[in-house]
Structure 1
């Protein structure tokens, strides 16, 4: 059983223990909690269920606000219709062909010589018809696949920043390690975020997160940048030249520090916003161990004053 399968089964047991129905939103909540990547989220859930207290629906919505589904605009209905049409087309083409060929084969057994040519011509024409129908079904299947890939990508996006969400970033990291065997990751935090939230409230948190997301995405391209928990970002550096990745992160830090964010209500300066990043390389470690190492470095960078990038040494001493 894969890790994902194990967590999936545990998520369902968790929902049963909390007496929550198996809705997609509840499953996503349980999966995120049990995955354990977002430590702040997991700690908040632990506080809610401490002492054996069961989660209430209100607590679930508070801890993990509902994400607008890409199916809300009728996409799900359209996909269902396309799938049913495709299945009908394939069944009609293959089922009818099977019946016709079976009947014709039986007729050939006792057919007179003058009938054989007619039956053979019929089989050729019938096969051509089925081939044409299956070709059309194949084209429809390709369109449906492209649509589903688009929906899947959209579902994996963070609704606040538009960046890939943490599950999408986990998949990206796994794919990178599978494809090339090694990579580096950077966990990036906003140094003053807690201070801004305490002073100006949650709305300012969202504005600062959006600004940081835009800066990181532009400065770190073509590397993939996504959300990593509620207050962090993750960058996957999928090339051996770590120096280039570090340089892009340092550029992001400089650009963010140079921005002049203002209070929307009063137009007063918000104050300088800076980033801290920790960079870790895979070195044969599991993805979760690499990201944990990057988190530790990011926290260390903040303790050293922030607005800096700390990376693991290229070589680890032995002995």
Structure 2
């Protein structure tokens, strides 16, 4: 039986999933434009970015201008030293802080708007209560207020209720959007902007959780060997691409476990639910994959040369703290470096 061709919808979904992009309308439209017009300038630019198995990031999409751009700005050579990606990362923290400030201001504004709605409802209710009390008093004195007066009072209150309901409905919709933004901001704060992996904040939180739980868990610290050579010979932008590629390899080889860019050229991996031999085997497979991968400077085709990393693996114990487990793994990594690099040391 012949296999049915993959639908465009499935291809778009697979692309979003492969690059860990949220399935929102903007991302869908972006990928739709790439896949339906594969020879367009936008599609070619994206293919250049993801060539070699690299993952497309939100910053890349923003820089390309999205699917509405007729001709995206030309991409700088990845070996260019004029606009190194490292400079962009230096500005990532202020940008994140700016986004946090904007969300905080938006949240404060939303709280104030809710407060204004509640105060308005209280004022309307109080006014209606006074009018009803006055009408009740008039009825009690035997005075005739007429159905028209009661109908007017009731109609005015119903109109105020309808206005308030519409305002509350709008406020609730805005609150839902804000809630999603806050969730996204929280996730962004725990993700490394270059590799898309968990950052040190997210990793420290996970280590704290594992320290309080039962079951085997191992911490692997992996550091790229002689990474300074790559930056010196090819530029920081190429170095950033190498970091992204190795981060993706570690994530693929350690699927199901938490992989983090711990800082610079160092990655940390929490391997849980495995004995030490199986955990070590995962790191060894990742080392072999990195060693066998041949990366090149995209614009020139120049080989970057063989890339390796060293690793130290420590197993969590009941007596461990965050500091002690990292100290032991770091000491093992240091030993691997001293023993000649491109190797893994365990306890």
For the aligned pair, the TM-score class normalised by the smaller chain equals 0.5 to 0.7
Give the Cα separation in 2 of the matches to 1:181 and 1:125.
62
For 2:115, the equivalent position in structure 1 comes to: 91
For 1:298, the equivalent position in structure 2 comes to 333
SS class of match (1:217): helix
Larger relative contact order, structure 1 or 2 (CA cutoff 8 Å, min sep 6):
2
Cα offset, 1:94, TM superposition: 0.6
CA contact (8 A) 1:89 1:133 kept: no
Deviation for aligned residue 1:230: 1.6
Q: Which of 261, 274, 285 is the aligned partner of 1:241?
A: 274
Distance in 2 of aligned mates of 1:77 and 1:65: 18
Matches within 5 A, 1:140-289: 140-177=174-211, 183-197=217-231, 202=236, 205-237=239-271, 239-243=272-276, 244-262=278-296, 267-284=301-318, 285-289=320-324
Deviations 1:117-145 (A, max 9, x none): 87789778866764664454233222112
CA drift of 1:111 comes to 4.4
Point out the structure with max Rg over C-alpha. 2
Shift of the 80–182 alpha-carbon distance from structure 1 to 2, 3 Å rule, reads same
Shift of 1:176: 4.8
Q: TM-score, normalised by structure 2?
A: 0.56
Structure 2 CA distance for aligned equivalents of residues 136 and 181 of structure 1: 48
Distance in 2, Cα, partners of 1:130 & 1:158: 43
RMSD: 4.1
> Structure 2 matches for 1:36-51, cutoff 5 A?
none
- What does the per-residue CA deviation read over 1:219-248, in whole Å, with 9 as the maximum and x for residues that have no partner? 2123222221222011123x3224554333
**Residue 203 (structure 1) shift:** 5.2
Alpha-carbon distance between aligned partners in 2 of 1:180 and 1:133, rounded to the nearest angstrom: 50
Ranges in structure 1 where 5+ consecutive residues have no aligned partner: 1-60, 313-319
The structure-2 alpha-carbon separation of the partners of 1:138 and 1:279, relative to structure 1 and needing over 3 Å to count, comes to farther
Shift of 1:188: 0.7
Q: Please, which runs of 5 or more residues in structure 2 have no aligned partner?
A: 1-85, 140-144
8 Å CA contact retained: 1:224, 1:236: yes
Taking the aligned partners of 2:124 and 2:321, their CA distance within structure 1 comes to 56
| Number of residues of Structure 1 aligned to a counterpart in Structure 2 | 249
Instruction: Please say if residues 211 and 321 of structure 2, whose CA atoms lie closer than 8 Å, have aligned partners that are also in contact.
Output: no
